[in-house]
Amino acid sequence: MELGRFVVDTHVHPQRHAVNFEAQDDDADYTNLAMLMHTAVPADEATDDDKVVVFDNSDRLVYDMDRYGVDMCVLLPAFGMTNGINEMIMEDHPDRFVACAQAQQTKKDALRGEEEWSIDKACEEIDYWLEKDGFRGIGEFLPYDPNQEEPMTWRERKPQLRKVFEVADKHDVPIRWHPGAAAGYSGGGLRKADKFPEYQDPMYAADIIPEFPDVDLIFEHGGVQGHWRYNVERALIVAAQFNNVYLEVGLWWEDLLKRAFNDPNVGPEQLIFGTDWGASMVANANHNSSDTSIDFPPLRWEQYEKRGLPAHQPDYWGTTLREMQKYALFNNLPQDELNLVMGGNFCDLYDVDPPHSRLFPEYLDR
Ligand SMILES: [Zn+2]
């Protein structure tokens, strides 16, 4: 049985990086790969000297969609992935994908030392892509200076983010906010992500959301990456405060799902199914059934450094759709509520027509 009438994964990476090991000085590990990936060159433009290339991986994506009954996906660029490759993938499958835009070229130019990064240049690039068909949001992540050396304060960061919100407002598209970052990328020292306030604390969002009442905000992974214990609760506090704030719950486990579904100020109207399909993370199951709140989560997507880099395509949907199913089964979740999370809320957020009208709950005003 499919998990819903219309099933959409709102967090998908249809591009994959490949490392040219012969062009490396060091052995590939999480530490140097994370940086190298940001400057990846599209495979069809690459030469033998390019250390990392990025390629269209949509054949595997479409295969998995057909296997697991996923009707549509939101395509996201991250690291060295390009908006251009996502555009080509959408042209090949116009009914199955929409995409978010990110300032990928501005970031690459800055990392290669070719042009200094600025928020205005980043916003211009995002604005350019949002003019095009199929681009309906901003992300993954909020644009930042990849050469930033010192941690930024919220006072410094907020004027930058305000400009990004203005672009979202102009195009009437949702904005994505990514609290925390995968632990495998840490590699010693202060992680890049930890330099920016939005990664440190989802609560900063509550300081800028009221300025943009028409912009919907999505917490990527619902705050579950990195310092999840802290970030998930704080993301939920923001969602409880603002009806235009949504959480991606695709990587959550049953207990966490319960926390959000049971909160009358959040509930299924503000949750969406987004995983991280295409990312090189694997799931880890903790088979202990400890009740303590300090145990490692029962099902956790993370980069496990000791296992090494995954060479296979981790199976996101087999695991995550089953976990949603498990929550629905054990908690008697009405299908109408699950349908909102699996696709209904996506249609509103990303301005996509579902296959038919009246598929999702709506009630007449009395
Ligand atoms: Zn992602």
Q: In angstroms, what is the span from residue 366 Cα to ligand 1's centroid?
A: 42
Find the 275 Cα to ligand 1 centroid distance in Å: 8
279 CA to middle of ligand 1, Å? 6
Q: Where are the alpha helices (DSSP H) in 69-211?
A: 83-92, 104-111, 119-130, 154-171, 197-200
Distance between Cα 278 and ligand 1 center (Å):
8
Ligand 1 midpoint to CA 13 (Å): 7
What's the pLDDT score for residue 57? 96
Q: So what's the pLDDT on residue 101? A: 98
Q: C-alpha angle 215/14/252, rounded to 5°?
A: 65
Measure 194 CA to ligand 1 centroid, in angstroms: 17
Q: How far is the CA of 333 from the centre of ligand 1 (A)?
A: 27
Q: For the segment 106-141, what is each residue's pLDDT rounded down to a tens digit?
A: 999 999 999 999 999 999 999 999 999 999 999 999
Q: How many CA atoms lie within 13 A of 29 on its CB side?
A: 12
Q: Checking DSSP bridges between strand 282-285 and strand 299-302, what pairing results, if any?
A: antiparallel
Residue that has been written with the tokens 């009437």 in this structure: 172
pLDDT of residue 341: 98
How many whole angstroms separate alpha carbon 331 and alpha carbon 3? 15
- The answer to whether 235 and 247 are in contact (CB under 8 A) is yes
**What CATH number does domain 8-14+55-350 carry, 3.40.50.10800, 3.20.20.140, 3.30.260.10, 3.90.1150.10?**
3.20.20.140
Domain ranges of the chain: 8-14+55-350
Instruction: Please tell me whether residue 204 adopts helix, strand or coil conformation.
Output: helix
What's the gap in Å between 364 CA and the centre of ligand 1? 38
User: What is the three-state SS of 233-302?
Assistant: HHHHHHHHHCCCEEEECCCCCHHHHHHHHCCCCCCHHHEECCCCECCCCEEEECCCCCCCCCCCCCEEEE
Q: H or E segment at 37?
A: helix 30-38
Cβ contacts of 311 within 8 Å, gap of 6 or more = none
List all residues 6 or more positions away from 203 whose beta carbon is below 8 Å from its beta carbon: 234, 237, 238
The C-alpha atoms of residue 276 and residue 4 are separated, in whole angstroms, by 19
How many angstroms does the Cα of residue 297 sit away from the middle of ligand 1? 20
With tokens 């994370």, the residue in question is 34
Residues of the chain with confidence (pLDDT) below 70: 23-32, 34, 184-191, 288-292
Cα(363) to centroid of ligand 1, in Å? 35
Give kind and range of the element (H or E) at residue 65: helix 58-68
Q: Is 287 exposed, middle or buried (0-12, 13-18, 19+ CB in 10 A)?
A: exposed
Q: Determine the residue type at 37.
A: M
> How many A from CA of 362 to the centre of ligand 1?
31
Distances (CA, A) of 235 to 35, 178, 245: 28, 10, 9
- Ligand 1 geometric centre to CA of 276 (Å): 5
